[in-house]
Amino acid sequence: MDESRKEIEQQIAKEVEKKVTDWVTVAITSLIQVAIMFAISLVLFKVVWAWVVPDLFPGAVAQGLIIGDLTWLAAVKLAVLVGVLGGFSPAFTDAIKQRRV
């Protein structure tokens, strides 16, 4: 009886360890993906801004009303803003689906 209880405890300990390992792996993978996407967003915002804005608003850029090239800090702020607004997207989608029903 005592041996079977130890076996069961060992089996439970292995299962718990596996679940914890799986969750830690998922968390680390998610953090890495977020960091990579954030870095890509920064570069993308900076490049697209410099490419598009001066062509769309040449007079405003010439007068200094709009900057022609984003600073890295401005690109970070823009990436954070887009990330936060994108984070609300699933909530808005769910709310719209619930209203239709």
Report the C-alpha gap between 31 and 37 in whole angstroms. Answer: 10
Dump pLDDT digits (tens) for 2-57: 778 888 888 998 999 999 998 999 889 888 888 888 888 899 999 999 999 999 99
The single residue listed with the structure tokens 């936060």 is 84
DSSP 67: -
Instruction: Among 13-17, 38-42, 65-69, 97-101, name the one with the lowest average pLDDT.
Output: 97-101
Report the C-alpha gap between 90 and 82 in whole angstroms. Answer: 14
- The encoded tokens of residue 20 equal 């914890």
This prediction has a pTM of 0.65
Angle made by CA atoms 66, 58, 76, in degrees to the nearest 5: 35
Report the C-alpha gap between 22 and 32 in whole angstroms. Answer: 15
- Which residues have a Cβ under 8 Å from the Cβ of 76 and sit 6 or more positions away? 42
